[in-house]
């Protein structure tokens, strides 16, 4: 009887120990698998964020570069003033036709208003021999 009890204990201990070791090993393997999965997800997320930041920063730099290039393609116009002696039969409308640039003035009226303001004129009539200052735009820079 005593031998059967010892054998029973030995059998349970042996099988129980084996089962316990298997359960611990399986739990450790599962935990390691979960840990590795979390690590992979974290690495993937860091890679995706890094890639998106790289694309965003590159896009910003290329955008700024293309804007600067587009601005460089645009002709720069400089505003100048010219002193003119009014000839016989000339009107501000004639000078507006000659000097007003549609890129800078919406109409001849806007140009004439600026001429009147520059020359401190109250009316839009000019007299033969009068000296007036006329604004105009040019692509050429004069020092």
**pLDDT of amino acid 132:** 96
The pLDDT > 70 percentage for the chain reads 78
**pLDDT of amino acid 59:** 86
Residue 11, pLDDT > 70, answer: no
How many other C-beta atoms can be found within 10 angstroms of the C-beta atom of residue 105?
18
- The backbone torsions φ and ψ at residue 135, rounded to the nearest 5 degrees and listed phi first, read -80, 150
Query: What would the pLDDT profile of 89-111 be if each residue is shown by its tens digit?
Result: 999 999 999 999 999 999 999 99
> Is pTM, for the whole model, over 0.85?
no
**Among 140, 136, 142, 143, which residue's Cα sits nearest to residue 82?**
136
Secondary structure class of 138 (helix, strand, coil):
strand
Secondary structure class of 81 (helix, strand, coil):
strand
State the pLDDT confidence band at 12, using cuts at 50, 70 and 90. very low
**Per-chain mean pLDDT for the chain:** 84
Q: Alpha-carbon torsion 126, 127, 131, 136, what sign?
A: positive
Q: What share of the chain is helix, strand, coil (3-state, %, to 5)?
A: 65, 10, 25
Residue 47, pLDDT > 90, answer: yes
State the pLDDT confidence band at 68, using cuts at 50, 70 and 90. low
């Amino acid at each position: 009887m005593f031998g059967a009890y010892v054998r029973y204990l030995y059998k349970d201990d042996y099988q129980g120990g084996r089962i316990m070791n298997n359960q611990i090993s399986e739990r450790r393997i599962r935990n390691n698998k979960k840990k590795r999965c979390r690590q992979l997800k974290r690495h993937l997320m860091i890679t995706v964020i890094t890639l998106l930041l790289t694309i965003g920063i590159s896009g910003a730099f290329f955008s700024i570069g293309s804007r600067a290039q587009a601005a460089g393609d645009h002709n720069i116009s400089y505003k100048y003033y010219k002193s003119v002696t009014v000839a016989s039969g000339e009107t501000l409308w004639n000078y507006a036709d000659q000097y007003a640039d549609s890129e800078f003035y919406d109409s001849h009226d806007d140009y004439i208003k600026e001429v009147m303001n520059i020359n401190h004129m109250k009316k839009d009539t000019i007299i033969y021999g009068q000296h007036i200052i006329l604004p105009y735009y040019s692509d050429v820079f004069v020092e």
